[in-house]
Amino acid sequence: MALRSFPIFLNLSIFKRSFKNTSLIRKYSTTSNAIKLSFTQFDPPKLNESHESCPLIILHGLFGSKKNWRSLAKAFTQRLNTRVFTLDLRNHGESPHSEVHNYEVMAEDVVTFMNDHQLKRTVVMGHSMGGKVAMTIALMQVPQIDQLVVVDSAPTNTSISKEFTTYVEVMKKVEQTGVMKQSQADEMMKGYISDINIRQFLLTNLKKDPETEVYKFRIPLDVLGNSLKTLNGFPFDSDRHTFHKSTLFVAGVKSNYIPPKIHPTIKTFFPNSVIVELDTGHWVHSEKPLDFATIVTDFLKKDL
């Protein structure tokens, strides 16, 4: 059977019944605001099309990029015998920038990607900010999603994280200084961010201007800084929006992004969900990649 796309506007009746905010209805009635996302496609060494799993789409977190998932993406192609797409969300990596940065427009970008690549059935996995984007797509009732994986993120409103505000402020200080070496940027950041792993993560966004040789961050710091309050929210309520397909939540117990008190809320939004905990911080997939890959693979394979 030939693949066909599912344009967002075909589901407009669902949004009209569900969304309290009419501006959201108007926003999802067109894909004109969607951004064409940069991506990398990973194919298994010997794709057996007759036994291929649903393609997997991976969405990174705030200040991350598709490159953060390269090793795990390669692993999943072999473990699941499927194509894996790692995406740069808007205002991140190599994707275009926009003044608008919220979960609704990021979800629209991803659905447009699905349609453009004629992905009739998919699994969507997201970490942190990417996890909320993934949940937003699922709760939009986008028909392409067969399964959902959410990594250390929850469908709740949270307070603005002081750490993320600090990250933006420090990166701005680095830019204002006009550093000529990445080591200089790291030295500056060390006074504000003690964790070398977080500094190295943020510094993946630092790029040298070929003309001036001055290092600049490739992400729009003002836009992302101004969006932090929005990103700590969640644009749905469980009375009106649920996703009943198979869903996995992977929590880092040291990060407190998915504490036990949040579990009932998750079950309300996602009745057919399981929650698995790993002894990690917020970057679950990078702290224990082998354990993480096994948990996700076992979960996705059980419904094959």
Catalytic residue numbers read: 128, 222, 282
Q: Of 125, 112, 56, 118, which Cα lies nearest the Cα of 84?
A: 56
Q: Of 199, 242, 169, 205, which Cα lies nearest the Cα of 93?
A: 205
Total length of the chain? 304
The Cα 222–Cα 295 span in angstroms is 37
**Alpha-helical segments (H) within the chain:** 12-18, 22-27, 70-80, 103-116, 129-139, 162-177, 182-190, 196-203, 221-231, 263-269, 284-287, 289-301
Through-space distance between the first and last CA atoms of the chain, rounded to whole angstroms: 19
Mapping DSSP onto H, E and C, the string for 185-240 reads: HHHHHHCCCCCHHHHHHHHCCEEECCCCCCEEECCCHHHHHHHHHHHCCCCCCCCC
